[in-house]
Structure 1
Amino acid sequence: METAKRSVLKAVLWNVLGLASMTLTGFVLTGSASVGGALAVLNTGIGFVTYIGYERVWSRISWGRHA
């Protein structure tokens, strides 16, 4: 089973990558760094909370694991 600290660290690192890619995407699509950045921050916040919950649920499911 994965610890809560590991799940949080994985979520933080994943969301740093997501924040960077969403900022670039938002900038390319809108032409505005501030609008692109705001969209990226909002998306990252939502994704962070969702990812932690998702990981914690899957850490309790034994299907597909080998002992």
Structure 2
Amino acid sequence: MKNERTNFNVMAFPNGPICNLDCDYCYYLKKTELYSETKNFQMTEEILEEYIEQYIKSKPGPLVNFGW
């Protein structure tokens, strides 16, 4: 069997109302009051960098798409 990598996609989305992207259309923004006690919804810069690096390395071709 040949050592082939199959193309795949990953969708990253926030797990709460406060994230690194702060999109205007975010459906979580109206839910902020539900999460008032929790402040750690953002991933660290280190985790984001590692996520991006691993995702790029996993792609078989020159085109890499990100869905946020």
**Range class of TM-score, shorter chain:** 0.3 to 0.5
Q: Which has the higher contact order (CA 8 A, sep 6+)?
A: 2
TM-score normalised to structure 1 length: 0.34
More helix by share: 1
TM-score (norm 2): 0.33
